Structure formats: structure tokens, C-alpha cells
Amino acid sequence: MQQQTTNTDFEVRSLDAMCVNDEEVKTPGWHNIKYLIMGAVFGIVLIKSEVISWYRIQEMFRLQSFHMFGVIGSAVAVGALSVFLIKKLKIKSINGEAIILPEKSFNKGQIYGGLLFGFGWAMTGACPGPLFAQLGYGATTIVVTIAMAIIGTWVYGKFREQLPH
Amino acid sequence: MNIIEWIKQPWPWYVAGPIIGLMVPALLIFGNKTFGISSSLRHVCAACVPAKIPFFQYDWKKEIWNLFFVFGIFLGGILTALYFQDDASVVVNENLVNELSGYGITEINGLIPEQLFGWSQVGTLRGIILMVFGGFLVGFGTRYAGGCTSGHAIMGLSNLQLPSLIATISFMAGGFIMANLILPYILAL
């Protein structure tokens, strides 16, 4: 029975919670501090490279600047090389676990949802990561945007079955 | 130039991009986690208002690392504001400056135009469309697509996933359509 529950949970999470690879090793709660630190580094980079700038996003979508294409392109290049090396060298996590990356399957939601997110990205000038950085950086009205993004997520969950996928 | 001075100036893409890319192996190696931000919004729903919706019936506590990561981004914002802020004015493409001035957006400073996203704008039609409706689309769209710029464009493409390429092309197409064809009407309000 326990197994059954775990499996259903995995199914639901793997629908699209990005992270489905579970750590079997139990780590104490304070270990989560490492994610806090990595997040802080990410936040600082997003701001100092002006990725959180509404202007940079507008320039990207108007092809007026190479900056954002450079950021995303070089991030993907470094990310892809890293993933290649991790797979090739069978690098394990610091807890000694094998790193297995889940394969994504196609559904039409990636197109419909992708277009809708693209609209929101150009309007707010921010994707989810930058929203949190903007708020921390002092743009207090962004609480409205973040609250609406949470509501948007909830509404999607509510009407998921009725939407074409 | 000391290190703090160097950090304060705007970083070029070839410095920022690779550091962002390194988030992918850092999360994999230090925690066996895949990079992705928008899922955090889902975990908030699952934790706060699951409302018996199947999509929110999962053990969100297993994903708590993602909430720590997101809170870290917020803290990174505060740290930058406190210690690494630079006083130089932002450089914005001349065509964009001209276009914006046509909509009465003349104060080009900071990273986010106060004339669009200030508190005085929250009650205006333009502000509501940009912040309220725009925010809704970010949350709804990312979940519908199964990820955002981090989960699909960076993590997914790094792992050579075709669905992520399709999603990324859709993000960009949506952004191009909005910025060039629809946003001008919104900004003119």
C-alpha cells in the first residue's frame, strides 16, 4: 500500500514539478541552507546582469540588443556541457547518489502555455525567477505580480482537465 | 579597482550567462535537484490552498528545497540593493527610449519603469493589465507549459529535451507577439 501511495505521488509530481529525482539519503532540514545560498547567488547574478530589467526584456523581444540572447545562450551552453560531463563521467551527487535526469514528454500545453507565458513575460518584463529578485531589490509592487502568478498557477491546476494538452 | 567596485557595475552577458548555466550542475551535484523556478508557485498552491484539486495533491514538503531556492533569490535581491547597487544610469536602446517616450514613459532609470510599475500605477487600467493580468499569465502559462525560462530554456535545453525546445520557441514567439503587436496598445492606454 505504501508503495502504491509513493508511486501515485511520483506520477503527480512528474506531471511537471520539475524535480522528480528524489534523494534517498535523508538529510537534516538545515541542509536546505545550501539552496538558499545558491538562490542568493542566482538572484545577485540576475540583477547585476540586468536580466530582471523590464527594458532588457523589451529590447530582447524587439531585437534591439544582443544581451539577453547572450545570457540565455551562454547559460545553455555551459549547462549542456555540464550535463554532458555529468552523464559521460557518471558523476554522482555529494550524497553518493546517481544523477538521473528525467526525460520530458511532449504535450500541446508546451505550445499553448508557452505562448501565454511569453505574453506575460513581455508584459511584466519578468519570468518567475526575476520576479522574486525584483521584489527583493525593492520593487514592492511586484508582490501584486507574484500573487497573481500564484493565482494563475492555481487556476491552471483547477481547470487542468478541461484544457487541451 | 577593488572587487566590490567590480561587482557593482553591470555584468556583461558572458559573465552572467555562464554563472547561470552553472546553476544546473551545482543543483545536480549538491542536491540531485533539477533547476526550475516556476514549480515553486505550484508548491505554494499545494501548501496553502490545495482545495482537493488533484494537481495539488502531492507531498510539497519533498520539494521544499525549491522554496528555499526562491527565497534565496529574494534575499539576493535585498543583498544587491544593500551592497552592490551602482549609481550609474541604465543604458537603454535609443529606439526603445523613443518608443516609450511616445507613451509618456520618460523617466528611464532603475531597472523597472516607475511610471508603469509604481504603486501609483496599481489602480490604473494600464497598471492592472501589466501587473495583474501579466502576472496571471506568467503563473498560468508556465504551469501549462510545464516550466519557465529556467526549467525549460536552461535546464531542459541543457539536457537536449525536444519538448523544452518547443516550449522555449513558444515563449519567444509569445514574447515577440506581445511586445511588438499587442503591448503598444496597452502602453498607449
Model ipTM value: 0.95
In a mutational test of the B interface, the residue from A82, A84, A154, A155 whose CB has the highest number of chain B CBs within 10 Å is: A154
Chain B residue with Cα closest to A99? B32
Instruction: Give mean pLDDT, residues B18-38.
Output: 95
Residue B63 in domain: no
Instruction: Give mean pLDDT, residues B7-27.
Output: 94
Q: What is the DSSP letter of B112?
A: S
Kindly report the pTM of this predicted structure. Answer: 0.92
- Please name the member of A123, A150, A152 whose beta carbon is closest to the beta carbon of B130: A123
Confidence class of residue B1 from pLDDT cuts 50, 70 and 90? low
State how many domains chain B has. Answer: 1
In a mutational test of the B interface, the residue from A86, A137, A161, A165 whose CB has the highest number of chain B CBs within 10 Å is: A137
Residue B172 in domain: yes
- Please name the member of B119, B158, B175 whose beta carbon is closest to the beta carbon of A82: B158
- State the average pLDDT for chain B: 93
Sign of the torsion formed by the C-alpha atoms of B91, B92, B95 and B98: negative
Rounded to an integer, what distance in angstroms lies between the CA atom of residue A36 and that of residue A38? 6
Residue B130 in domain: yes
**Predicted confidence pLDDT, tens digits, chain A (165 residues):** 333 333 344 444 445 544 455 566 677 888 899 999 999 999 999 999 999 999 999 999 999 999 999 999 999 999 999 999 999 999 999 989 999 898 999 999 999 999 999 999 999 999 999 999 999 999 999 999 999 999 999 999 999 999 999
**pLDDT attached to residue B7:** 83
Residue B163 in domain: yes
Q: Express each pLDDT in B117-149 by its tens digit.
A: 999 999 999 999 999 999 999 999 999 999 999
**pLDDT attached to residue A138:** 93
On the CB side of B79, CA atoms within 13 Å amount to 20
* Stronger pLDDT, B64 or B88, i.e. the higher one: B64
Which residues, 6+ apart, have CB-to-CB distance to B27 below 8 Å?
A35, A38, B33, B34, B35, B69
Residue B50 in domain: no
Considering only the C-alpha atoms of chain A, give the largest distance between any 2 of them, rounded to a whole number of Å: 58
**pLDDT attached to residue B81:** 94
Q: Structural domain of residue B151, as residue ranges?
A: 118-189
Residue B138 in domain: yes
Residue B143 in domain: yes
Residue B149 in domain: yes
